[in-house]
Amino acid sequence: MSAKSVYSIRIPVKFRKMMDQMDDVNWQEEMRNAAIELIKSKSRKRLLKDAQELRGQMISDVESAALIREDRNAR
């Protein structure tokens, strides 16, 4: 079983003709790499947004000095 799947796209005929004229470009590889980079970028942005939302929900009125003192006193 393959670890890859197929995803098809439609492009205007004008651009397909231009692609056909460019024999030196491996379009399959170029489009695959572009899609993977876009997916990674969007995924990182979504993870950052989720982390920022979680950070916003955290209690922020506690001073770090109080937390350090509490931790030291617990030893």
Does the pLDDT of residue 67 top 90, yes or no?
A: no
- 47: DSSP letter: H
Chain centroid offset of residue 58 CA: 24
Q: What is the pLDDT of residues 17-39, one digit of tens each?
A: 999 999 999 999 999 999 999 99
Question: What percentage of the chain carries pLDDT values higher than 90?
Answer: 69
Q: Provide the pLDDT for residue 1.
A: 61
Please give the Cα distance from 27 to 17 (Å, whole number).
13
Residue-wise burial string across 57-75, b where 16 or more C-beta atoms lie within 10 A, e elsewhere: eeeeeeeeeeeeeeeeeee
37 or 59, which is more confident: 37
